[in-house]
Structure 1
Amino acid sequence: MAMVDTGDTRLHVQRLAPRGGHPVTATAVLVHGLLTDSLASYYFTVAPAFAAAGIEVVMYDLRGHGRSGRPDSGYRLDDSMDDLEALLDRLQVTGPVHLVGNSYGGTVAFGYAVRRPERVASVSLIESEPATEAWAAKLGRILRRVDTELARNEADALAWISAYRSHHTARLAKGAARLVRATTIARDIPASRVLGEDRIRSVSCPVLALYGGESDLAEQAPWLESLLPDCRTVVVPGHEHSVLVEASGTVGGHILSLIHRADRARDPAPELAGADPR
């Protein structure tokens, strides 16, 4: 375990080196989702397979989540992108990285690709979307619901979750309620700056968008493909928003294919790069 000081907060970071002493072929930075999520959702799913494939993996807990610091304020999308930028700088990751984002983490990853295209080799969105006005309105509704139904009526809500879901889910929900109650996150995220379609179109690196077939986000697939110059969408039948955990092999396989394709496009084999075109 390592802690990285961004200057604004401290982020809990885990790194996995390629297994067996293999050289690093690429670096993937994995960004998790909101409230009940942490880097553990990657550590126990796709991260080991990425390391086995020769990829250096960087995972971190977003501010307010997991073992990272919990400042009272500063939870807009730009703050999350600032943290990602500081993390790459502190870890001295200089080359373009492959960003993988689940849910809110994908929104962070996509926004960072808009902001710093030279630092991003590819973006993989898992059950996620760019930050649009519709996204901000939806997150506002979700966070208000957490505030009213969970943070303000915590005992009853947690009892219901424990009875009808699981004790583990109830523990996660309790942490989410504490975060909403103790910080400005419920106000900050809906007030984040959003992207117009022109800014979304500016992302030229390869983009992969994965959705559960039973998720309402799957409807975004044609829209994303129409906007982005290099975008592939995959819908995994029979899954909803938890597709990363429930179908990690499928999700990880598609992301690895994208990373390998993007790296081949950026770094052709030496014998091909120097070959006589005649």
Structure 2
Amino acid sequence: MPFAELGDVRVFFTDDSPAGREPRGTLLLVHGYGADSDDWVFHFPEFGKRYRIIAPDLRGHGLSSAPATGYAPHDFAGDLVRLLDHLGVTEPVVAIGHSLGTMAVSALAVEYPARVRALVCVDPAYGQTPEIAAGFPAMYEGLRSGDPYPTALANEEWCHTPASPSWLLAWHRRKILATAPQALAEAFPALYDGDAAFGVRPQGDAYLARRECPVLSCWSAAQGASASWERGLFRHPASRAEVWPGAGHRLHAERPAEFTLVVRRWLDELDRAAPAPPSALRTSAPVASPDRTAR
């Protein structure tokens, strides 16, 4: 069945494994705000040659049900754990998230560290500066006005560059319109507003620094300055923060072949590396990674 009953939510998911071979591990693919798991269809063929792929629609998105509440990153992380349990996945997964999905998988890594081997974070929603976050309350008001769609659609404009394909903008406008209004109204504010939110720096820095697994983050051109900031939070020496020149917010959809190649090579590096002793993973100060720019 492509649906899982997980307490208060019915989650749609796909679960695919390589044909005729044992997978090298499990990839958990988590989409962003106002989107769905179809965001990853570009990557299924290549990743599916090696890995088991689990791709859910988050609550309130896509074909999953839309409870009245439960749209904070920690809620999404809890759903992901319950889905892994439902599917009998006991080994640590590589969790790949985009935008809001990066905060869901980061919460997964912090709150359930035994379930996560590594993270890939695509143009993260976290790391917003106080100057940018100062404009968010007006968005919260629009999203909670009873009709969140105009505000959510207006927010979509910054996600693209002049080089972004026009079909990508049209596709995601339709995805937003298919997202439950309560999900749009609550999920965005939950990233940045409230005591448990960790999307704005410096308030969220301490929480993100608790991610002890390797992290590969891929930042768009518009948010490239955040890569240097994130390097100061990494705990694992294999972590990297890369800037993708010219890329828009959905860089994984704009450049899918490049994205899958970058991720596969990084995972291959992790496979080749000897297991790091616990002392290497729990340093007294964050370990900075070299400046690596994707080409």
TM norm structure 2: 0.75
Q: Which residue in 2 is equivalent to 1:260?
A: 268
Helix, strand or coil at the partner of 1:86: helix
Q: 1:61 to 1:182 in 2, by over 3 A?
A: closer
Q: 1:139 to 1:59 in 2, by over 3 A?
A: farther
Q: Which residue in 1 is equivalent to 2:31?
A: 32
Cα distance in 1 for partners of 2:227, 2:51 equals 27
Q: Which residue in 2 is equivalent to 1:9?
A: 9
Q: Which residue in 2 is equivalent to 1:67?
A: 63
Structure 1 segment 63-212 matched on structure 2, within 5 A: 63-130=59-126, 142-146=139-143, 151=148, 168-176=171-179, 178-180=180-182, 184-185=186-187, 188-189=190-191, 190-191=193-194, 193-195=196-198, 196-212=204-220
- The structure 1 residue matched to 2:225, chosen from 215, 219, 224, is 219
1:237 aligns with 2:240: no
- Whether contact under 8 Å (1:113, 1:203) holds in the other structure is yes
Q: 1:212 to 1:153 in 2, by over 3 A?
A: closer
Q: 1:153 to 1:99 in 2, by over 3 A?
A: closer
Superposition deviation, residue 261 in structure 1: 2.3
- Whether contact under 8 Å (1:121, 1:262) holds in the other structure is no
Cα distance in 2 for partners of 1:192, 1:88 equals 28
- The structure 2 residue matched to 1:47, chosen from 44, 48, 56, is 44
Identity %: 25
Cα distance in 1 for partners of 2:208, 2:40 equals 26
TM norm structure 1: 0.79
Q: Which residue in 1 is equivalent to 2:285?
A: none
Q: Which residue in 2 is equivalent to 1:271?
A: none
Superposition deviation, residue 151 in structure 1: 3.2
Cα distance in 1 for partners of 2:129, 2:197 equals 6
Q: Which amino acid aligns with 1:179?
A: P
Equivalenced residues, count = 255
- Whether contact under 8 Å (1:31, 1:39) holds in the other structure is yes
Q: Which amino acid aligns with 2:220?
A: G
Cα distance in 1 for partners of 2:119, 2:85 equals 19
Superposition deviation, residue 258 in structure 1: 2.1
Cα distance in 1 for partners of 2:84, 2:64 equals 16
- Whether contact under 8 Å (1:27, 1:98) holds in the other structure is yes
Superposition deviation, residue 79 in structure 1: 0.9
RMSD over aligned CA atoms reads 3.3
State the Cα deviation string for residues 97-150 of structure 1 (Å, max 9, x = none). Answer: 000001100111111111111211110000114477959777655454445696
- Whether contact under 8 Å (1:136, 1:194) holds in the other structure is no
Radius of gyration: which is bigger? 1
- Whether contact under 8 Å (1:121, 1:206) holds in the other structure is yes
State the Cα deviation string for residues 43-62 of structure 1 (Å, max 9, x = none). Answer: 2x11221011x111100000
